[in-house]
Chains A and B, each alone.
Chain A
């Protein structure tokens, strides 16, 4: 829209002379003219024709200019329709009255054509700008609406994943705004099959959707792993790795994770980047801090990630408090921050530990007063209590007693056609890690199986002799021979039998590997000293013996049984 487009202009004046002059001037300029003789006609004409600009005589019969101006402005609504008052009035009061009534400008008599042209042009520019502003405002409005919808969807996705786990257990108190996820704050808690409770409080950098985005993989990883019995370090690593790979540089998650063992009255803590938490002992001593000793999650690659934990004893009745930085950074109307001193003071002032959680919140809210409302306050209290009194503990024990994979056995029979093509180890291991108690021992189990299998395959089925591996050249020859025989093998078998059972404290896995070979008589020396000799081979079975509770050789020596047991929550 440029300044010189022809407009539709309404001319309202009760003097025929003046009207005629104005009509001519305006028409000469190329605009379309509509005329009215009084205020009422002016309003009617406006409603009908919706002109772009109005020239209005101030004093007219039948609704004077002021009244007409008010009505016209009301009819125009949001759009800008400039009203120029035509007037011989010169006193300030009258001119003010014109402006108050909605007039945008004046044109005095005698009408000056050049001035009128300039005013029309100027108002045209203003109308264009105004129209753009309205469009942009509408656009912003739509985007905002859209953003709110996206946030609502994101929140639903998040809520589906981040079900409250065991946050409603009776030993947990927490305060989190319902839109906390958009402030980057997240709290997840779940029971491990072993009966300990794992809690993670996280604070993602940023706000809005970017902050919420990281919360989803964090929550789904946490809940996916906790119930399967993974350890705290496993879970921390997994979360760290995921966040590192998906979040852009500069976005990370400050977090504190706790594993609470009610039976052993012990907690393990990892704090990466959150303000120090406090332990409030039942006795009422000053609070003990739990400081941040690590970088936040998602900063370091997994190989550099430090997963060392602090282990602390907590007696029944002691409480652990965690928070994100929202409490320290809460501001009062004067702009001061709540800070550590005040927070510590709440602890020192507290007499009844059961009230402490509420006292902290009250004190902070009081401090904020009429200051900026802060949606960032996140606070968790965890009580160390006797297992029987923790209802989440009872619920988990109940669940465990009903769960599967506690007693089972499995047989594998590997035939020649499979030897070449198929390495059974990864498959076996995948099955085993579904057993909660075995998962944290996957490294050892892999070694045990590998050694037993290669022993059975190489010596039993392929008939290779380890003695060949006594020299560097022999070593190479041995493996060349291994490959050659493997390619040619057409008979023989390796049978693997697994049996697993559990009891209250843990479980026991028995592995038996039998091969089709003639067997061997492992003499005491070979295995016991296997790890102490300096030959290039012969360590395999010795390693197995070291890693297992017991190893037996049966049959003709072509059958080896290894027993591996695990305890709950080592």
Chain B
């Protein structure tokens, strides 16, 4: 079910592939709980996440280029984990696809998924930045 981030009035994005079903970028509840826990350190956390994620994406690129399926799996799995913690559900789903591909050894077509991930991530980045202003 598509939802909008009402604060910024962002439009829901479109993916090129048919799946995933969910179009939500962020689970508001999770994020809210996180904000409560982190309190004043919330902006720092977002920063960490952003930097982390950028590195993950770089690592995935490298792994795909060298056709290192184990690395693909691990990086995607890890990335998925942090996404879940942040409530970035859509990004997490995309990572799952990447992870499955890596585990099964089906690396063809995963460059395509990586692009999706990059796009989703940049959208998420904007959303998150507004939260920390």
Contact = CB atoms under 8 A, between A and B. Distances in A.
Contacts of A17: 45, 48-49, 52-53, 82, 85-86
A111 to B, nearest CB: 6
Interface string A103-126: 000000111010000000000000
B82 to A, nearest CB: 4
Interface string B66-91: 00000000100110111011110000
A217 to B, nearest CB: 76
Contacts of B8: none
Interface stretch (B11-19, B30-38, B115-123): B30-38
Interface string B23-57: 00000001001100110010011001101110000
Contact of B48 (A16, A61, A88, A113): A16
A24 B48 CA distance: 13
B37 A59 contact: no
Label chain B's interface by main secondary structure.
Answer: helix
Contacts of A34: none
Contacts, number: 56
A88 B51 CA distance: 21
Interface in A1-60: 14-18, 20-21, 24-25, 28, 57, 59
Most B CB contacts (10 A, CB to CB) among A16, A18, A24, A88 go to A88
A111 B30 CA distance: 9
A15 B80 CA distance: 10
A113 B38 CA distance: 11
Contacts of A18: 81-82, 85
Interface in A471-522: none
B125 to A, nearest CB: 14
Interface string A209-240: 00000000000000000000000000000000
Nearest to A64: B74
B37 A25 contact: yes
Contacts of B48: 16-17, 20
A109 B81 contact: yes
Contacts of B37: 21, 24-25, 28, 113
A110 B30 contact: yes
A15 B81 contact: yes
A117 B13 CA distance: 38
Contacts of A57: 81
A487 to B, nearest CB: 109
Nearest to B87: A110
Contact of B52 (A15, A24, A61, A88): A15
A513 to B, nearest CB: 113
8 contacts: A14-B78, A15-B82, A17-B85, A24-B37, A59-B78, A88-B81, A109-B81, A110-B85
Given A25-B37, A110-B84, 10 more contacts: A16-B48, A17-B45, A17-B52, A17-B85, A21-B37, A61-B74, A88-B84, A109-B82, A110-B85, A110-B87
Interface of B: 30, 33-34, 37-38, 41, 44-45, 48-49, 51-53, 74, 77-78, 80-82, 84-87
4 A-B pairs with the lowest CB-CB distances in the bound complex, closest first: A17-B82, A109-B84, A17-B49, A110-B85
